[in-house]
Structure 1
Amino acid sequence: MHKTPQVNEVNEFIEIASDFEDPLEVIREALSNSYDADATQVDINIEQDEEGRNTLVIEDDGHGMDEDDLSSFFDLGNSNKDDAIGYKGHGTKIYYKSDEIRVETVKDGTRIESVMNQPWAKLNNRELPTYSIEKTDTDEPSRTRIEVHGFRAGQGFDPQKLTYNKIEHYIKWKTIGGSTAWHFTDDFHRMDITVELSSTIDDTRDQIQTDNRLEFSPENRDPDGELVAEMMCKHYPPRELTVALDDGRELTIEVVGMVGGKEARNELPTYGKHSAQFGIWLAKDHIKVERYNDAIGADNEFFHFFFVANCQELELSANREKIRNKSGDVYQAITDELDRFMTKVCQDSWYQKYIERRKLEDKKRSIRSQESTLEERRQRTEEQGGLSPSNSAEVIAMLERYSANGAPETIKIADFQMDDEVNAILDTEGELENASLQVKLSDFFEDETPLNHIDRFVCWKLGDLDSLSQVERSPYMGKPIRFDFQENVIRYGGENPRTIPVLELAEKVS
């Protein structure tokens, strides 16, 4: 007897939709669908009403959908796109995480209107959602309009977290809106993109207007100036690398990129942590997926490089965030070829000149910084008439100078722990004392630090005398305290107070 494995359809829909966590992924899927529909213009509008409900509207002038296309749009794993971006039919399932999906599309003289109510609520109630279809004849040009009401991602969807700047960088870095395909073909399919947010979300500008080309920073191979390595930039023109597999198939890897300094790289529309954006990106459909920085080699820092290596044989996870076939021969062949290609880039005479120039300029900056710091220190010393310690270690240096210059008692540092309340043990004429070394005595009392184990204070200056007078006016840690700077002691306690000597170094060390 043979049995056929069953699929829990509800669970599959929930699982696929749940793979999409970033609310911006709805924009990525919308742009991919519009591109696959041969659209030349796509408009995205994100609105939020007074009650906080959100609506996403995506419109394009692509070839539209007929009834079979609409079924593919709503079905799972039933795409009719062949090898287009969304050929698995997973991407549009992100729309299921909503309260309502409305589709209005025109194709070949037929207009279709479709509505799916409460898809996410029904799926979580273990029910497959349904959608309506109404068809009418029309003479309108082909187009598609999709409305997603009450969209949510992750634990929820907050449109106000979507700013124009964040969306624009995401489009260029993570979607077909940042395609590198235009480098490789003369008949590149250009698509103009407009994104508009309601003023309650972001009122800093009217809209985003861009197209689907990722452009590199301007080339600047040998800028004039003394400290200009950060501005240097070289483009490495598009190359098609061909790799033969053992089974006779051939892989084509389309590589294009740039090397540049920090200022040049800052002109790129990166998305996320800046330092995590550079290196060698593997891409499919000319959309960046994962980095392969091993191709650069340990001797070269990855953040100088920005290359995109596109191969259509890469297999991606449902949410297009990861490469699935890393263990296969295709991935191995791609990475081996990239290793060879990037080795040549790293051996390029311009790159070697750039690295040497950068190192030389870094040294010059370091020297200038040190000179500037020294000048500031000299000026401060002249204004103060000598050394003015700024930390405990410098107080130790002054204490040693004090002891070496004919002090009435010889005091040595027997032990020092910077962060301890009693941070020093002093050897005073052979006797050990627990001590607190402070730049200013008044600093010690700001945090109400206990005095129980302190035998002596050593400070550069007494500090804020008004602050110390304020400490005297009320019990300190439950006991009376008096500062007697005629005798340079602190008297702490009631009837038989402890006497704690205070050694102020500023007046004793020249």
Structure 2
Amino acid sequence: MLPRRFSRGERMASYTPLVKQAHAFREISLDFTTPAEIFREAIANSLDAYARRIWLRTSVEERRGKEYVIIDLCDDGIGMNVNGVQAFLNLSDSVKAAAPPPGGVRRRMSGYKGHGTKIYYNSEHLEVLTYDGSGIAVYCHLADPRGELSTGKVPVAKVEEISPAELRARREKWGFAELAEAPGTTIRVLGYHQNAKFGLEHERLRDYICWFTRWGSWEPKLCAVANVQRDEVEDLGSCELYLRGLGKEPNPEEYEKVPFGHRFPATDATDVRKLRLRDDVDPLKYYVRTWAFANEPLVRNPDKRIDFVFAIEGEGARRDYNDMLRRQRKERRPGDYLSEERYGLWLGCDFVPVERFNAWVAERSEYTRMHAFVNSDDLDLTANRGSVENTPSELMQDIEETVRRIFAERIEQSLDYLKFEEELLSIERHRHARKEGEDYKRRQKRLESKELAKVNGVEFYSPKTETDLIALIAGVQALVPDLLPFAIRDYDSHFGFDGLATRSKELAINETSHLFVELKVELKKEFNHTFERLDAIICWSSRVKDGETVSDLAGKKGTYHITSRPDGTKARYIVIPDSPRNVEVIVFRELLLQRGVEFRPVGE
């Protein structure tokens, strides 16, 4: 059918684009990739609802022969009526309280796009139980929302009004009897994120909450260091959050009360003389210095403001309060990390970190020592709150310029920072000198453990590394050109085979027949190259016995054969089935011994 053409003067018809609802719901629900993100969204919604108590719980339950992960998210906030529940279920629909409860403090509203709650749709069953204190509670459930969305259908929600008595009974059944008939909301999610347990471990969840949710806000530290007062910080500081993740120890059935606010060292520690009592070699391991700048205007947009906390923390001081940092010689734990994987300069909004921008201030300061945050309420985040890439580039440049200026003029030039850098430089110089001394002793000891031999009056040491072996072969070959059955023309120990050789002993510019040679201090049954294109192996010694199998990097196997020549010397080959050639093995120490060159301990 041909498209309709409009005649001259005729008005063009209007068309309103449509949204494929099921596809949009599904894409947004799957856009949240980390299981713990459901807790970030739940905390934001609870605080927006002026909750004073929050319970977060994970458990595993078997139903009809199948194991399910159950996530319960509960608060004592203002709750929802039927209209509020419908908005909660809708896409891009968000209803927030117009004012705090009587006597309450107004809070920032962090949920506004109506996308975050769609994270609950990535589940096999969703239930909502809520009460706003009006006398009628609401119960809602969706059966297999993930499955429905995968078939192109928008899941149908069953919403019913229930009595306060029914509300109390359901809360008791779910383990939240303390709410009784008070306002609040409970969300139960069954089979979330393909029933994934990974990421829901208790310690890992606690760490996530303290880093990447509103409950882990770093605003209390800003207020304390910058000496400013903010009502919301004091309000949330008196609220409570209880957590029970998977594998909680020592009492799996008990909640842990998680304090409000991001974790920092309790106090600054800048007196290096005192810090030397903890570590005389590197006192900066326990150094802590914090700067804070509240409500700072941007350079090019002074009507827009940022908050900025910048701390220098030594690794030792950091480990005093953060038990999720990986420890050397200790067993790995789910979710542990190194300082460079977590610390640095974070940019975010609502005092929740979103992305790291270490390069803004790391040109002169190691970012692994930084514990820094920048907050801007003008950022535009992606739907899953995982990136600031939707923010206009001009605003990002302005924020960066402002942060750089504050750092250069008010941190870098401060007396404490200058003293820190001076001490750091002194420690680095001392460490470098100590390492040089240690390296000298180590190499001297290695030299004493070697053996020595003379070839045509020139001393050579036995090899300990492939580099040693290359030097030995090159030196001996220059003095005894006919020692090897080929001449090695090129050495490269960085990539591929170590040597490129020719059978002809005469150096010819137009030589085209080359062969690859691999050098090994010790030949083992596991060969870390392929046999393909390899002609020979030169080793100092061999641990492979006659008849044993040698495997190459590609899994190809060959048999190690040792035979005797008519002159009594031994010939060694790796015989590879279905290969046009075998790999010759030359034990260089044995070859030298046949020429009367014997290596003896240096002391002899």
1:364 is aligned with what amino acid?
H
Q: CA deviation at 1:43?
A: 1.3
The alpha carbon displacement at 1:321 in A equals: 1.3
User: Which of 551, 560, 563 matches 1:482?
Assistant: 563
Are positions 1:390 and 2:460 aligned together? Answer: no
User: Quick one: distance in 2 between partners of 1:401 and 1:265?
Assistant: 52
Q: Structure 1 residues 171 and 136, CA, compared in 2 at 3 Å: closer, same or farther? A: same
Matched, 1:58 2:67: no
For 1:3 and 1:450, the matched residues in 2 are separated by 65
CA distances 1:390-420 after superposition (whole Å, capped 9, x unpaired): 1233234445776899x89899965434453
Separation of aligned partners in 1, 2:111 and 2:90:
12
Tell me how large the CA RMSD over aligned residues is.
4.2
The answer to whether the 8 A contact 2:546-2:561 is kept is no
| Closer, same or farther: CA 204–443 of 1 in aligned 2, 3 Å | farther
Is structure 2 residue 181 aligned with structure 1 residue 140? yes
Q: 1:445 to 1:32 in 2, by over 3 A?
A: closer
Deviations 1:150-206, CA, capped at 9 Å, x for gaps: 222xxx34114432232122112211121022233353213332221355xx66763
Q: Distance in 1 between matches of 2:89 and 2:449?
A: 77
Letter in 2 for 1:252: R
Is residue 127 of structure 2 the alignment partner of residue 115 of structure 1? no
CA distance in 2, matches of 1:331, 1:112: 43
Q: CA deviation at 1:39?
A: 1.9
- In the alignment, the residues of structure 2 paired with residue 481 and residue 277 of structure 1 have an alpha-carbon distance, to the nearest angstrom, of 55
Counterpart Cα distance in 2 of 1:260 and 1:168: 21
C-alpha distance after superposition, 1:86-114 (max 9, x if no partner): 12222111112222221222322533222
- Tell me the SS of whatever aligns to 1:211: coil
The residue number in structure 1 matching 2:192 is: 151
Distance 1:86 1:263, change over 3 A: same
Is the aligned partner of 1:242 residue 2:297?
yes
Cα distance, 1:376–1:103 mapped onto 2, change above 3 Å: same
Counterpart for residue 426 of structure 2: 360
| 1:12 match: secondary structure | helix
1:34-183 to structure 2, matched below 5 A, reads 34-50=46-62, 51-81=66-96, 84-110=109-135, 111-128=137-154, 129-137=156-164, 140-152=181-193, 156-182=194-220, 183=222
* Match in the other structure for 2:379: 314
**Matches for 1:427-466 after TM superposition, within 5 Å:** 443=523, 447=527, 460=540, 462=541, 464=543
- Residue 451 and residue 7 in structure 1: after superposition, are their counterparts in 2 closer, same or farther (change >3 A)? closer
Residue pair 1:244, 1:250 contacting (<8 A) in 2 also: no
Which residue matches 2:330?
none
Q: CA deviation at 1:359?
A: 3.4
Instruction: State the match for 2:304 in structure 1.
Output: 251
Instruction: Give the share of equivalent positions with the same residue, in percent.
Output: 23
Tell me: CA distance 1:160–1:49, structure 2 relative to 1, closer, same or farther (3 Å). Answer: farther
Q: Which secondary structure does the structure 2 equivalent of 1:340 belong to?
A: helix
The SS at the match of 2:192 is coil
SS of 1:53's equivalent in the other structure is: strand
Structure 2 runs not aligned, ≥5 long? 1-12, 99-107, 166-179, 224-228, 326-334, 453-460, 550-556, 575-583
Q: Hey, what does 2:417 align to over in structure 1?
A: 351
The answer for the alignment partner of 2:269 in structure 1 is: 220
Paired with 1:194 and 1:293, the residues of 2 have a C-alpha distance of 33
Return the offset for 1:312: 1.6
1:231 matches 2:280: no
Compare 391-400 and 444-453 and name the one that shifted more. 444-453
Aligned residues: 491
1:141 Cα offset (Å): 2.2
- Please give the alpha-carbon distance, in whole angstroms, between the structure 1 residues aligned to 2:390 and 2:396: 7
Aligned equivalents of 2:362, 2:350: Cα separation in 1: 26
Q: 1:487 to 1:444 in 2, by over 3 A?
A: farther
Going from structure 1 to structure 2, the CA distance change for 1:149 and 1:382 (only over 3 Å counts) comes to same
- In structure 2, the CA distance between the partners of 1:429 and 1:277, relative to structure 1 (3 Å rule), is same
CA displacement 1:266-305 (0-9 Å, x = unmatched): 5556876742433332221111112333431634443332
Secondary structure (helix, strand or coil) at the match of 1:115 reads: strand
Q: CA deviation at 1:29?
A: 0.7
CA displacement at 1:38 relative to structure 2: 1.9
Letter in 1 for 2:51: A
Distance 1:409 1:174, change over 3 A: same
Q: Which amino acid in structure 2 is aligned with residue 98 of structure 1?
A: S
8 Å CA contact 1:438, 1:444 repeated in 2: no
Residues 483 and 34 (structure 1), Cα distance of their counterparts in 2 relative to 1, 3 Å cut? farther
Instruction: Give me the whole-angstrom Cα distance separating, in 2, the residues matched to 1:469 and 1:122.
Output: 65
1:366–1:132 distance in 2 versus 1, CA, 3 Å: same
Question: CA 1:471/1:449 → structure 2, altered by over 3 Å: closer, same or farther?
Answer: farther
Structure-2 separation of matches of 1:209 and 1:339: 38
Q: Classify 1:423/1:264 alpha carbon distance in 2 versus 1 (closer, same or farther; 3 Å).
A: farther
1:337 pairs with one of 398, 402, 423: 402
Aligned match of 2:328 = none
Q: How much has 1:341 moved relative to structure 2? A: 1.2
Q: CA deviation at 1:258?
A: 0.6
Q: Using a 3 Å threshold, how does the CA distance of structure 1 residues 437 and 484 change in structure 2: closer, same or farther? A: farther
1:211–1:408: structure 2 CA closer, same or farther, 3 Å change rule?
A: closer
Residue segments in structure 1 that go unaligned for 5+ positions in a row: none
Give the TM-score taking structure 1 as reference length: 0.80
Matched, 1:289 2:354: yes
1:416 alignment partner AA: Y
